[in-house]
Amino acid sequence: MINSTQVSYFTLGGYFDTGLFKYFYFLIVMSLYMLIVCANLLLIVVICMNRSLHEPMYLFLCSLFVNELYGSTGLFPFLLVQILSDSHTVSASVCFLQNFLLFSYGGVEYLNLAVMAYDRYLAICCPLQYNTQMSFNKIAMLIGATWFYPLLMCVVMTSLSHSLQLCGNIINKVYCDNYSVVKLACYDTRVNNIYGLFVTSLSIICPLILIFYTYMKILKVCFSGSKQTRQKAVSTCTPHLASLINFSFGSFFEIVQSSLPMMLRIFLSLYFLTCQPIFNPLMFGLQMSKIRSLCKILMHSLILHSFGTD
C-alpha cells in the first residue's frame, strides 16, 4: 500500500518510443500550440481594444477565448516536455495541478456556452428588455460565476484525489487526469465517485439542460417571427451551436473511451483538449462579420507598421 503523499511521481504509459520522430512530433505540437495562442490572443485583443465590441455577446466570447488559452496552457507545455523526455514521468504535484487545470477548463467551457445561450435567448426572445436585463453588473456576475464555481468544485475534487491511498503510479494516458488517478486507489473510492458524478452533473448536464431550453424558446420565436429575426438567430447561434456540438462530442468520447483500444483512447483524449481551442476562434472569427472585419483592420495595421519600421 502506497499513500498518495508518498508517491513522488507518476509514470505516463501512453507514450511510445518514437526515436528521432519525436522531434517531428514536437514541431507539430509546438506549431499547434502557437496557432491556438495566436488565434485566441488576436480575438481577445480585438474585443478588448474596440469599444464597439464591448457588448454582452462579445464579452462572453472573450471569456471563452481566455478559457481556451487556460486549458491549452494546462496541456501543451506538458506535452512538449514529455515528447522530448525519455522517462515520461511527472511529479505528483504537477500531476494534481494538471488534473485541476484540465477539469476546471471543461467546467468553465460548458458554463460559458450556457451563459452565451442565455444571452442569445434574451436578445432574440426579449429584445425590448435585453439592455435592462443584461446590465454590466449582471455580465460581470455571470462571467465571475462561470469561472468561480468550476474552480471551487475542482479544488474539492483534487483534494479528495490527493488524500487517496494509492497502490500504483502508472497512468495509461499522455497526460494526468483525475479519473486515472482515482483508479489507482487501494481502497473504497465511493466518496470520490459520488462527488465526481455530482460535479459532472453540475458542470455538464445542468448547462446542457439550460442550453436546450433556451434553444427551444429561440426556435419557437424563429418559426413565428419575421425573416429578419430568423436571419439574426442563424447568424449568431450557428457558431455557438457548432462549438457546443464539437465540445460535447469530445466530452462524450472522453467519458466512454475506457473501453476503447489504447491508441484510439489517446487520440480521442487529445481531440477533447486540442480541437476546441482551435475550433472556437476560427468558427467565431469567420462567422461573425464584425469580428472578422476588425481582425482584418488590426492585421493590416500591424503589417503596415512592421514594414514602416523596417
Question: Tell me: the pLDDT tens digits for 240-276?
Answer: 888 999 898 888 777 776 666 777 777 777 887 888 9
Q: Which of 240-249, 273-282, 298-307 has the lowest average pLDDT?
A: 298-307
Per-residue pLDDT tens over the stretch 99-147: 999 999 999 999 999 999 999 999 888 888 888 889 999 999 999 999 9
pLDDT attached to residue 96: 92
Q: Which residue has the higher pLDDT, 14 or 299?
A: 14
- pLDDT for 265 equals 76
pLDDT at site 283: 84
Lowest mean pLDDT among 49-58, 98-107, 217-226, 284-293: 284-293
Label each residue of the chain as H, E or C: CEEHHHCCEEEECCCCCCCCHHHHHHHHHHHHHHHHHHHHHHHHHHHHHCHHHCCHHHHHHHHHHHHHHHHHHHHHHHHHHHHHCCCCEEEHHHHHHHHHHHHHHHHHHHHHHHHHHHHHHHHHHCHHHHHHHCCHHHHHHHHHHHHHHHHHHHHHHHHHHHCCEECCCEECCCCCCHHHHHCCECCCCHHHHHHHHHHHHHHHHHHHHHHHHHHHHHHHHHHHCCHHHHHHHHHHHHHHHHHHHHHHHHHHHHHHHHHCCHHHHHHHHHHHHHHHHHHHHHHHHHHCHHHHHHHHHHHHHHHHHHHHHC
Digit-coded pLDDT (tens) for 30-74: 999 999 999 899 889 888 888 888 889 889 999 999 999 999 999
**Measured distance CA(114)–CA(67) in Å, rounded:** 14
Q: What is the pLDDT of residue 3?
A: 44
- Count of H helices and E strands in the chain? 11, 5
Residue 39 one-letter amino acid: A
104 phi/psi in degrees, rounded to 5: -70, -30
| Domain 2-309 -> CATH class | mainly alpha
**Whether 53 contacts 290, CB under 8 Å:** yes
Please tell me the distance from the alpha carbon of residue 234 to that of residue 188, in angstroms, as a whole number: 49
- Looking at the chain, the whole-number percentage of residues with pLDDT higher than 90 is 34
The domains of the chain are located at: 2-309
| Residue 149 confidence (pLDDT) | 93
Instruction: Look at residue 4 in the predicted model and tell me its pLDDT.
Output: 43
Convert the pLDDT of each residue in 133-190 to its tens digit.
899 999 999 999 999 999 999 999 999 988 888 888 888 888 998 888 888 888 888 8
Question: Which cell is 32 given?
Answer: 499547434
